[in-house]
Amino acid sequence: MYVDCGHPEYCTPECVHPFEMVQVLEYGNHILSTMAKTGMVPKGGVILRNNYDPGSRQTWGCHESYNAKSNSDVRLYTKTMLIQMATRIIYSGSGGLAPYGQFFISPRFSIKGDRFRWREVYEDRLSYFDRSCTYKDGRGYSRDRRLHVYASDTLCSHMSIYLRTGATALALLLAENDIDPFDGCRMTPSLNCSDVNFNRDFHLKRTVAKSKTGKRLTMVGVQMHLLGAIEKHLKKSWMPGWAEEFLPILSMVMQRLSKDAPDSVATMLDWAIKLKMAERTLQKYPKRGDKQGKKAIAGLYQGKDPGSKDLYQLDFRYGQLPDPSVFSELDKAGVLEHRVPGYPEVKPDQPISPKTARGKLRATTLKRAKRASLNETVRVGWDRMRCGNLQCYAKSPFAAKWIPTAASNTPEAKRRDAKIRKALGTLIGEPKAKPVKKKVTKKKATKKKAVKKKRTARPRQATIRARVVSEDVIDLSF
């Protein structure tokens, strides 16, 4: 939990399975609810998420980060990101109001895309949707890179979280292995994020792309190409073990979306649930008759402002913390089927201990320090740990040990460090030795300089690769 740019955020640990992301997000919601109940939020106040703020014209959504490593064709990678970000909203959209009272499948995507054009990102860089950066290890760069995606909604449905995380990770994994997950699909030239009509295509009938054979494709059709690519390469050695479980669930949701959307997923996906709730709100509006109610619903589908304050209240209360929220009340009533089939029921108040990656290192460090009853205060951050004078880092998302930044000099500091090392055991590694500079003659030095100039003159090659989900950050507004 931390404050970023004046608003609170919380972040999950690294996850290597999409269902693990569902579990840690639910437990994070439980922590925030506890904070609100124990006085960290003013009395009577609630934590709002998954909504659009008409005052500041901002959306409060979700950031995703995916681990990336390897060399890949940057154009294929960029194209994959563009198509996946634009079409995955059919299962990852939260639904809700945006500027001028319009209802969108993904409100955050519509606002974050106002400054975006397909051509800019395709030919230059992933400028607005994501950025890739390397993790610094103190003396250079590790091989791990972070793909940061911030045009995402905060979700309540377990199915939506599961599909968004798994499908995006697999699409990027295919691209990093030089496989086009969308089999040559091309987005229509007129389509960009400022063209919001596809974000209001609730029946999912609008053409957004063309296949390599010239066939027109809807957002469902594009995602079916991804489904086929996953199935075709399912037995590859680089495919994660959970892909085989993920495939039938994604196939089931795609079939339901292709039949009769949004009614077919009105109890499963967030945007469809909220859309149906908005329809019922307009139908029961006390000052309107049946004809006016139907007219208001038609305007909702056409992108007009229905003029009802109740819709804004529904948008705010849908995912509020602590309960009761609109979503939690519907879930308790048993009218929703948003849970992921084949997995155990998620208990929000059950602590989740990370089993892999750097999250396990942080959790194990705190447990051992508590068990050893150290007199020193142990501070564990995202990628750093400090206990007394001992400072360590773990920049790789898959780190299994803390690496000290430097060895202690004084005898007293060495004794304290030895006690800490004994308590934490194998979690503390050895500091990296500084490379010794070799003395070279004047001729060799001149030769080295010439080679370096020659290398820098070559065109730079992008090194982007995405493998597993690394983290998930959610912005919140009090």
> Using one digit for the tens of pLDDT, what is the confidence trace for 264-315?
999 999 999 999 988 888 876 555 445 555 666 666 766 666 666 778 888 8
Give the C-alpha distances (Å, rounded to integers) separating 87 from 99, 151, 414.
Answer: 21, 12, 56
Q: What's the rounded Cα separation, in Å, for the pair 358 and 385?
A: 12
Quick check: helix, strand or coil at residue 147? strand
Give the C-alpha distances (Å, rounded to integers) separating 289 from 281, 303, 304.
Answer: 13, 21, 19
Q: What's the rounded Cα separation, in Å, for the pair 341 and 337?
A: 9
Q: What's the rounded Cα separation, in Å, for the pair 198 and 411?
A: 67
Confidence band, pLDDT 50/70/90 cuts, at residue 255: very high
Most confident residue range from 87-101, 233-247, 339-353: 233-247
pLDDT at 441: 55
Cβ atoms of 394 and 361 closer than 8 Å: yes
Q: What's the rounded Cα separation, in Å, for the pair 51 and 318?
A: 8
Confidence band, pLDDT 50/70/90 cuts, at residue 234: very high
pLDDT at 293: 59
The DSSP bridge pattern shows strands 216-217 and 130-136 to be unpaired
pLDDT at 44: 67
pLDDT at 193: 46
Bridge partners (DSSP) of residue 48 are: 477
pLDDT at 282: 80
Q: Does pLDDT of 29 surpass 60?
A: yes
Indicate the DSSP class of residue 368. Answer: H
Cβ atoms of 100 and 278 closer than 8 Å: no
Q: What's the rounded Cα separation, in Å, for the pair 472 and 66?
A: 9
pLDDT at 458: 38
Residues in the chain, overall count: 478
Q: What's the rounded Cα separation, in Å, for the pair 27 and 391?
A: 29
Alpha helices in 261-324 (DSSP H): 270-283, 290-302, 309-317
Give the distance from CA 400 to its chain's centroid: 23
Q: What's the rounded Cα separation, in Å, for the pair 239 and 265?
A: 29
pLDDT at 384: 86
Quick check: helix, strand or coil at residue 202? coil
Q: What's the rounded Cα separation, in Å, for the pair 95 and 377?
A: 44
Mean pLDDT of 113-134: 38
Most confident residue range from 114-128, 204-218, 235-249, 457-471: 235-249
Segment holding 43, helix H or strand E: none
pLDDT at 111: 63
Q: What's the rounded Cα separation, in Å, for the pair 218 and 201?
A: 10
The radius of gyration of the chain from alpha carbons, rounded to an integer in Å, stands at 25
Cβ atoms of 50 and 319 closer than 8 Å: yes
Mean pLDDT, the chain, integer: 76
Indicate the DSSP class of residue 265. Answer: G
pLDDT at 439: 55
Confidence band, pLDDT 50/70/90 cuts, at residue 379: confident
Contacts of 246-253 with CB under 8 Å at 24 or more apart are 246/18, 246/162, 246/166, 246/167, 246/170, 249/159, 249/162, 249/163, 249/340, 249/341, 249/342, 250/163, 250/166, 250/167, 251/227, 253/91, 253/159, 253/163
DSSP string, 64-121: EEEEE-S---HHHHHHHHHHHHHHTHHHH---EE-GGG-EES-HHHHHHTTT--HHHH
pLDDT at 167: 95
Q: What's the rounded Cα separation, in Å, for the pair 285 and 78?
A: 46
Confidence band, pLDDT 50/70/90 cuts, at residue 69: low
Q: Does pLDDT of 192 surpass 60?
A: no
434 or 270, greater pLDDT:
270
Q: Does pLDDT of 90 surpass 80?
A: yes
User: What percent of the chain has a predicted confidence (pLDDT) above 90?
Assistant: 21
- Check whether the bond before 8 is cis (ω within 30° of 0): no
pLDDT at 57: 67
137 or 35, greater pLDDT:
35
Which pair of structure tokens corresponds to residue 97? 């109001």
Q: What's the rounded Cα separation, in Å, for the pair 46 and 32?
A: 10
Half-sphere exposure of 67 (CA within 13 A, CB side): 21
Cβ neighbours of 118 (radius 10 Å):
19
Give the C-alpha distances (Å, rounded to integers) separating 473 from 66, 380, 446.
Answer: 11, 18, 49
pTM, two decimals, is 0.81
Mean pLDDT of 436-459: 49
Closest listed residue to residue 113, CA positions, set 22, 199, 26 = 199
Q: What's the rounded Cα separation, in Å, for the pair 36 and 58?
A: 23
Confidence band, pLDDT 50/70/90 cuts, at residue 432: low
